[in-house]
Chain A
Amino acid sequence: MLREVGLFIIVSMLLTTLVLLYLPTKFLFAQETVCGEGFTMSREDLGITEGALVSRNMRVKLLLEIRVNGFYSNNMSDAYLFAIPEKIYKGSLEKTLPYLEKEEVLRLLKDNAVGFAKVRKLSFDRLESDTINLVLEDPLILLLYIEGNTTQTVSPPSTPPTMPVPPPGIHYCFVVGTKIVIENEQLIRAADIAVIGLAIFIAGDLRSEDSWLKKLKSYARKIKPGEPKQE
């Protein structure tokens, strides 16, 4: 019985390793989306939304693709999506940003971000950013930075639009794509499991009456290399 269990562990480990080596790198990419509305900080020259918090559940190497899309009815002169480590943002930036000039806010955000991307305004008040590619190390906060007067809200157009327009203000969705990278750590763990499975298999096989290993040994004794086969 131990032999069957050991054999199953080895087979299961081999299948797992093959699938994990091949699939996650080739095809698999999960996407998580969180949506919200409104500014955390709005002034006459800029506005910031503290949109999403990205943290890890697994200690594996994770490649992220982050972007934002949404709607904003006011005019904007410039906009960026920032990914900033939560520790840095909560430690100092969060408190100091409201008291800084526009240029200083932007410089500080760019200096502390692990990644940032330009956000463009498209037709029908749509917002869309480029993609930030990064390796997730520490928990991240995703911020949307918009230059322009964010204290006023423009009322929706009186003529019926060709597509539904959301209520005035900002509406955003952060999209986070994740890819797992299999590293040596995982392969070492697979090897550990293989050793355990092999030990169980050998222990079980040697104890069983029809031992496969003993049969193999006696078969190897019968057929020695270079010796002609007997009729």
Chain B
Amino acid sequence: MRPRILLHSSYILGRLSKELAAAMAGLAIIQVIFLSMMAPRMAIRVTLYPQPGYVAYPQPPPMMLAPVLGITGFLYAMLTVAMGAQMGLELERGDSALYLSHPISRLSYVASWIIASIFIPSLMFFFSLIIPILILEPHLLLGVGGGEIALILLQVSTSGSIVLLTAALFKKRSLALAVGIFEYLMAPILLTLIAAIITFTTHTTPSAGNMLWIALLYPYNYYMMFGYLGANWMGAAIVNMPVFSMLTALLLAYTRWGFEVK
């Protein structure tokens, strides 16, 4: 017998399958068009032939997938935020009471939403990125963009968990959606402004280490913004993962002990 969490996740996905399939097919086609446009550039390396006495200056890491992820990452984030906010709609309208009258625990109910709104879109986004790369050249997966893919998945998953937590706490779809959009779109701009003001007033040059706090919620943005200063994708992921885990744990803990439905 299948676990109830998976059953309910399948049910949620079944309900949202048309929208999800359309969004993901759109994402996939945008990604493959961009990737195939970038592929010739990724396929070769042209450098100056090193002469005697030539000093190779350290180069920032090549962010090969940045143009693709800049566009599709945004769509993927909006999809995750919108799906997470759907839980708020269920709680707002009282549909959740109907589901919870079936033999499914509150914890399983919320866990199934985590799977349906964070895990499955992330998995599909990951597939839509790696399938073109796998078809073109599997070797590329090891070298190019692995860090970028991991960071965008972490960043969007963190936003998704914030939206689910808001939906569980306030039981309002509109509020969850607003918090998600603010957190993903507005807050990074505000944080960058704050960082700029701080560095301006203290007359200091920012280093990748000083700005690591941005990676708490936005590891991908941090890597993109401070890559030229030597920001490391692994460092950004290590800083973000405890925050994502803590938010998810907080959501589950609240569901277990403080969650009530109308």
Chain A interfacial positions (CB closer than 8 Å to B): 1, 4-5, 7-9, 11-13, 15-17, 19-20, 23-24, 28-30, 32-34, 36, 40, 50-60, 62, 64, 136, 141-142, 174, 176, 178-180, 186, 189-190, 193, 207-208, 210
Contact = CB atoms under 8 A, between A and B. Distances in A.
A57 B43 contact: yes
B29 interface: yes
Nearest to A32: B46
B127 interface: yes
Interface string B127-143: 11001101111111001
A169 to B, nearest CB: 15
A145 to B, nearest CB: 14
Given A5-B124, A16-B132, A210-B14, 18 more contacts: A11-B24, A15-B32, A16-B135, A20-B36, A20-B135, A24-B36, A30-B40, A30-B41, A30-B43, A32-B41, A34-B46, A52-B48, A53-B47, A56-B43, A57-B144, A64-B44, A176-B44, A178-B43
7 contacts: A16-B32, A20-B135, A20-B136, A34-B47, A54-B46, A136-B44, A193-B131
Contacts of B13: 1, 4
A23 B50 CA distance: 35
A83 B114 CA distance: 56
Given A57-B140, A178-B40, A186-B136, A52 B46 contact: yes
Interface residues of B, number: 48
A47 B137 CA distance: 40
Contacts of B2: 207
Interface string B34-52: 0011111111111111110
A43 B38 CA distance: 42
Contact of B140 (A24, A58, A189): A58
Contacts of A141: 49
B21 A8 contact: yes
A186 B136 CA distance: 6
A186 B131 CA distance: 11
Interface of B: 2, 6, 9-10, 13-14, 17, 20-21, 24-25, 28-29, 32-33, 36-51, 115, 120, 123-124, 127-128, 131-132, 134-140, 143-144
Contacts of B137: 58-60
B47 A16 contact: no
Residue among A15, A59, A64, A190 with the highest chain B CB neighbour number at 10 A: A15
Contact of A12 (B40, B42, B131): B131
Nearest to A22: B36
A174 B45 CA distance: 13
Contacts of A20: 32, 36, 132, 135-136
Contacts of B49: 50-53, 141-142
Given A1-B6, A15-B25, A58-B137, A23 B120 contact: no
Contacts of A51: 48-49
Contacts of B20: 4
Contact of A8 (B24, B36, B41): B24
A65 B33 CA distance: 23
Contacts of B25: 11-12, 15
Contacts of A55: 44-45
B99 to A, nearest CB: 16
A178 B43 CA distance: 8
A1 B13 CA distance: 7
Contacts of A64: 44
Contacts of B51: 40, 50
Contacts of A56: 43-45
Contacts of A207: 2
Given A1-B120, A8-B21, A54 B44 contact: yes
A53 B40 CA distance: 16
B21 to A, nearest CB: 7
Nearest to A11: B25
Given A16-B32, A19-B32, A20-B32, A4 B21 contact: yes
